[in-house]
Chain A
Amino acid sequence: MARVLLEHIYKTYGGASEPTVKDFNLDIQDKEFVVFVGPSGCGKTTTLRMIAGLEDITDGNLYIGERRVNDVAPKDRDIAMVFQNYALYPHMSVYQNMAFGLKLRKVPKAEIDKRVQEAAKILDIAHLLDRKPKALSGGQRQRVALGRAIVREPQVFLMDEPLSNLDAKLRVQMRAEIRKLHQRLQTTMIYVTHDQTEAMTMGDRICVMRDGIIQQADTPQVVYSQPRNMFVAGFIGSPAMNFIRGEIVADGGKFYFRAPSISLELPEGRHALLKNSGIVGQPVVLGVRPEDLHNEEVFMETYPDTVINAQVEVVEHMGAEVYLHCSVGSNTIIARVNARYPYQVGSNVKLAVDLNKIHIFNAETEESIGFATAGSKQEVTV
């Protein structure tokens, strides 16, 4: 078991003018499950490959346990990697598939047998050990692939989008399986995905990346509720956070967010923050998550000043809830509302904004001013 420490890591490929990974700093604790998440080309896989030793580190220090491993060959780093396209051998049984790597490493036969049996038990595939890959379902194959990594008893597991090839239902099931596996093995795991739902549901901590730079590394709850910038706010959450461009206006001792067709009085508890952040009179972006737009009567009656008028453009029925795609002035927003009300395309709806949950970003830097973290007394139960 081991801590993984990345200190000022840079990766620049030959011939490239810009680093692919820039000043990456992260301290991954022993037994922690950390997820690297971000869009294609953000550097998450490159970072994982540097940890594995498959890529040279251009600059910085990488430690696994107490050992600096920048110059240690991949096979000597005591890690195991699981990839999206897991590899099984067609002519071998599940047992032989799991034992293959150990056999290559000249591990004694008795030890191989012990490890394979243990891993099979953990993964609930002991009854499949005599089968060939052809006779396995997709989920069973994925378990065998995990088993091949487990039998190596590595200090650190690295997983590069291991569920991307599975269908949606199986992916949800395997997410839980891997999470349980982590709890059972108590090993450090680093997991790469582009899927924010996977990141949110699996990681102790998630590390959101863009353009080779860590945007935010924190628990899923914090990343969701207190995104550091517009990129994190927009990337995490589905449907994505609504963004409305406008400005902060001071008027008669109160502060308002104003945009075409929208005027919202901002809570008193945030006045000091607004004054200190120096954004009054400046262009800003208001961020509000779809679930923080309410159409319940009680909410609108309690907070009549937070109501905005919108026109329904698209109604997406999701079962228990409905996604309303609405236009508000020149902006398009999505509200996630209860399915018990009828909604019609083209009709007008009133939506109340939960001002406790809004985010305000500097329009130029796209950084959050910390609005969501500042205190407020407004509370409502619906």
Chain B
Amino acid sequence: MARWAKALGLRYIFDEAGASSEEGVACGSWRLENGVWQLGVGDGVVRFADWDGPAEVREALTWTLLALQPGDSERGRHPLAAWYDHCRQLSLHALAEQFSGEAAEGAAMDKGGPELGAFTYPGYFLVLSPLLRRDEASDAWKTARELMLEVMRATLCDVWNKDVADGTQILTYVPAQAFDTAFDDLSLWTSDHPPKHADRTRTVVDHLATAIREEGLIDVAISVSMPVLEQAQLRQAILSLAMASRLHGAQRVGGQRVAVFGDQPMAFLLSAVPESALRTILAMVSARSASNPEEWPNGWMELTRAMMRANLNVSEAARAMYVHRNTLLARIEKVYEETGFDVRVIDHLMVLHLAALAMEQQGAYN
């Protein structure tokens, strides 16, 4: 802070929570009061006198003060919440770099205090973000937060939780045992295959998102970390949580977004490919048909997805798309005529699938 103050010529005062202000400022939030910018820092407020800092500078200041000190619990910030705040600011590439190198450094989080050792392992970190409408009242977050926690308790019993810095997400830790119990009690599994651990977690998290939506008419995005098997994995798990959260965009279904770290290797791979390489991939695919994928028949992506999910079984894909088998066959022929790829052939289907993913990723770049 002192270096910032010197660099920008700032004058600041730190007020402990409740010391002077009637109403606190949420941790990580800025408020302009009587011409004075105030930053909530969890255990109090920092006031900046005679300074009208632009939004970008205030944002940078926020992260410097709050997020780059993951071990700093002296200010009342929980080290895991602060570490997550820090991770959220990193690029996907930087997250991956840290993630792959983190295992060796895992012990660093051990210094965070006795609370970290109190977690039951294995378990998962979850981050819940309500998808509030632009015009919703300012108390909407507070209402949503209470509701999300109540529903979590009703589904999974008591869970560890902390608000993250900008006050729009809740970071939680849930023992795997709680997922297993909820899964068994609700008999949610409909597949013939015995559920894997990841299936159980994923299914219960989907259920949780539905419960929040039904109970409060609130869409919620939920990201889930890798399984945490021991205390030494806490930092790495938070990194995986940040990565899952970053890859959320493509997962949206009916307003419900659940992203589990292990579910997204393809999305991660595509996001790691430079835009120029994506363009080249699309050029290579379209060379076969001598037309741009934008000009291909409507619904080729849906058809590709359906055939992938149906393991190339046309009847199964037709059922999933609610069309007659003959109609689907006619569409397959049309796509073949226009693109040169036959989705009944696995090599062709994989190329079209890759093209669809590349186009989605390109959309994300744009």
- A residues lining the B interface (CB < 8 Å): 15, 39-41, 45, 49, 52-56, 71, 73-75, 77, 79, 81-83, 85-92, 100-101, 104, 132-134, 148, 160, 165, 194, 240, 332
Given A40-B321, A49-B255, A100-B215, 17 other A-B contacts at CB below 8 A?
A: A15-B366, A45-B254, A54-B213, A54-B219, A56-B135, A73-B136, A85-B206, A87-B207, A87-B208, A87-B214, A88-B186, A89-B154, A92-B154, A101-B215, A104-B150, A134-B185, A160-B254
**Once the chains are docked, how many angstroms separate the CA of A153 from the CA of B260?**
36
Residue of A nearest to B132 (CB): A73
Main SS class of interface, A: loop
- Some 9 contacts from A to B, beta carbons below 8 A apart, are A39-B323, A40-B322, A45-B254, A83-B214, A86-B214, A87-B208, A91-B157, A104-B150, A194-B322
**Once the chains are docked, how many angstroms separate the CA of A104 from the CA of B186?**
22
Residue of B nearest to A72 (CB): B135
Q: Which chain A residues border B157 with CB–CB below 8 Å? A: 91
Residue of B nearest to A96 (CB): B154
**Once the chains are docked, how many angstroms separate the CA of A75 from the CA of B133?**
12
Evaluate whether A104 and B147 lie within 8 angstroms (CB atoms) in the complex, with A81-B217, A133-B185 already known.
yes
Residue of B nearest to A167 (CB): B190
Q: Which chain B residues border A77 with CB–CB below 8 Å? A: 217
Assess the B211–A87 pair: CB atoms within 8 A.
yes
Query: B93 at interface (Cβ–Cβ under 8 A)?
Result: no
Type the 1/0 row for B228-250, where 1 means its CB is closer than 8 Å to any CB of A: 00000000000000000000000
Residue of B nearest to A85 (CB): B210
Q: Which chain A residues border B185 with CB–CB below 8 Å? A: 90-91, 132-134
Assess the B210–A240 pair: CB atoms within 8 A.
no
Query: B59 at interface (Cβ–Cβ under 8 A)?
Result: no
Q: Which chain A residues border B207 with CB–CB below 8 Å? A: 85, 87
Closest CB of chain B to A99's CB: distance in Å? 11
Assess the B217–A89 pair: CB atoms within 8 A.
no
Assess the B133–A56 pair: CB atoms within 8 A.
yes
**Once the chains are docked, how many angstroms separate the CA of A282 from the CA of B211?**
55
**Once the chains are docked, how many angstroms separate the CA of A92 from the CA of B150?**
13
Query: B137 at interface (Cβ–Cβ under 8 A)?
Result: yes
Q: Which chain B residues border A52 with CB–CB below 8 Å? A: 217
Assess the B363–A15 pair: CB atoms within 8 A.
yes
Type the 1/0 row for B135-163, where 1 means its CB is closer than 8 Å to any CB of A: 11100100100010010001101000000
Assess the B210–A90 pair: CB atoms within 8 A.
no
Type the 1/0 row for B3-27, where 1 means its CB is closer than 8 Å to any CB of A: 0000000000000000000000000
**Once the chains are docked, how many angstroms separate the CA of A41 from the CA of B210?**
20
Assess the A81–B214 pair: CB atoms within 8 A.
yes
Assess the A90–B326 pair: CB atoms within 8 A.
no
Query: B197 at interface (Cβ–Cβ under 8 A)?
Result: no
Residue of A nearest to B203 (CB): A85
Q: In B313-366, which residues have CB < 8 Å from any A CB? A: 321-324, 326, 363, 366
Query: B218 at interface (Cβ–Cβ under 8 A)?
Result: yes
Evaluate whether A332 and B326 lie within 8 angstroms (CB atoms) in the complex, with A39-B321, A40-B321, A86-B210 already known.
yes
Residue among B155, B208, B363 with most chain A CB within 10 A: B155
Query: B199 at interface (Cβ–Cβ under 8 A)?
Result: no
Residue among A82, A90, A101 with most chain B CB within 10 A: A90
**Once the chains are docked, how many angstroms separate the CA of A92 from the CA of B155?**
9
Q: Which chain B residues border A82 with CB–CB below 8 Å? A: 214
**Once the chains are docked, how many angstroms separate the CA of A104 from the CA of B149?**
11
Q: In B153-192, which residues have CB < 8 Å from any A CB? A: 154-155, 157, 181-182, 184-187, 190
Query: B134 at interface (Cβ–Cβ under 8 A)?
Result: yes
Type the 1/0 row for B216-229, where 1 means its CB is closer than 8 Å to any CB of A: 11110000000000
Evaluate whether A75 and B217 lie within 8 angstroms (CB atoms) in the complex, with A40-B302, A87-B210, A92-B154 already known.
yes
Assess the B186–A134 pair: CB atoms within 8 A.
yes
Evaluate whether A73 and B214 lie within 8 angstroms (CB atoms) in the complex, with A41-B302, A49-B255, A133-B186 already known.
no
Evaluate whether A100 and B363 lie within 8 angstroms (CB atoms) in the complex, with A39-B322, A75-B217 already known.
no
Closest CB of chain A to B8's CB: distance in Å? 35
Closest CB of chain B to A335's CB: distance in Å? 16
**Once the chains are docked, how many angstroms separate the CA of A56 from the CA of B143?**
19
Query: Among A40, A41, A54, A91, which residue has its beta carbon within 8 angstroms of that of B217?
Result: A54
